[in-house]
Amino acid sequence: MTTTDSTRRATSRAQRFGTGRVIALVGLWVAPVVAVGLAVPLSAALDARSVEIPAPLTVTVGSREVDRAIAVNAVATLAAQPEIRTTAVGVLTGIGAPGPVVSGSEVFAVNGVAVLAYRGPVLHRDLNRDDRGADVAALSSYLSSLGLLDPASGGDTFGPAVQASVRALQQRLGVAQDGVFRLQYISYVPEGATEIVGAVAELGDQVSSGDPILVAAAPVESVVLTPVSAGNLAAYDGVDLALRLGSSAVDVSGVEVTGAEAAVVAAALDEAVRTGAARVEISDGAPSTYSGGILVLRAPETTGTVPSTAVLIEATSVACLLSVGPSGGLEDLTPLPLTTATAGNELGTIVVDEAAIGAQVVRDVSALAEKDRTCR
């Protein structure tokens, strides 16, 4: 044997041995990978099978209180500024300072005699002993508010007690105490005039009965609520409402309020602006617009609630739920007609009639046979 032949046989054995080692090593490495590759989807399938629970065929109609909250703006419109006029004739010798108008307080003076603020039915004549009527009753009430007449001694007849209280008033004013009540002692304060903001006459002016002397802050004529988004508030007509402003609320009789109620609502809006619960935009000569309010039902409504899949709506727009029989199966279905079927506040829920609360109904009407999907 030659040296060359020996070398060739050694090389051949080494190649066979090396190749076998490589094949063996590769086989040992690939086997676990294949096992893992098979095990992972198998494990996932087993896990999925272990957590998958068949969806229930039926569901119980739940209940929920709904306050129908909606974001609104409040538009407040002011009336003309009320004027406080004189019935006295002469020289204007005193003008009250700006501020709240208090019944019985001095608002101005004519010829050195104070003229007092008067709230109540308008008086049209001077009043004397034995006069009778509604104006005498109004005077009696006014004198009682000044602490000059016992309410039990008043009434619609100008008797001795009323005359004595008039003399006490005359003494307070520094005029002759003849017991005759004269219109020049008072100045009628119009409804809505709560605060004096200025004067239209000057000291020393010659004034006549009916001349304006002071002006009050313009009262709120109306407050109108409008939705922030598109649409209207027609659905809120005829129900008791409240306007929520931050953590507080004020009752409102409707989406448009006037008079004394408008003043109360406007005061609540101004307070909400002060606390930061609302914002206001004010333009000269234009209504003020307040934002940040939420209109709600004063007494929330109770409604039913179901998954949206439980409501069957036919081509004629008739809507119903399908109530199951006592067995809970789908063999005997009874339609429950709905007058209300609107989207709930939570995704995938429908608000339905209160009468349906507690009923056991089909959870998904689309899973029923076509012959069973009917509201008739």
Antiparallel, parallel or unpaired: β 248-252 and 301-307: unpaired
Antiparallel, parallel or unpaired: β 349-352 and 241-245: unpaired
* Residues linked to residue 250 through DSSP beta bridges, in sequence order: 243
| Helices vs. strands in the chain: H and E counts, helices first | 4, 25
Helix (H) / strand (E) containing 19: helix 3-51
CA distance 73 to 228: 6
Give pTM, 2 decimals.
Answer: 0.59
Nearest to 191 by CA among 284, 130, 260: 260
Q: Please, what is the Cα angle at 94 between 115 and 84, to 5 degrees?
A: 50
Contacts of 292 (CB under 8 A, 6+ apart): 245, 246, 272, 277, 278, 279
Q: Which two tokens stand for residue 47?
A: 């896990």
Q: Which two tokens stand for residue 275?
A: 């606390």
Q: What is the pLDDT of residues 28-87, one digit of tens each?
A: 334 444 344 434 444 444 454 445 556 688 999 999 988 889 999 999 999 999 999 999
Query: How many Cα atoms occupy the beta-carbon half-sphere of 149 within 13 Å?
Result: 26
Is residue 1 scored above 60 in pLDDT? Answer: no
Residue 8 — pLDDT band, cuts 50, 70, 90? very low
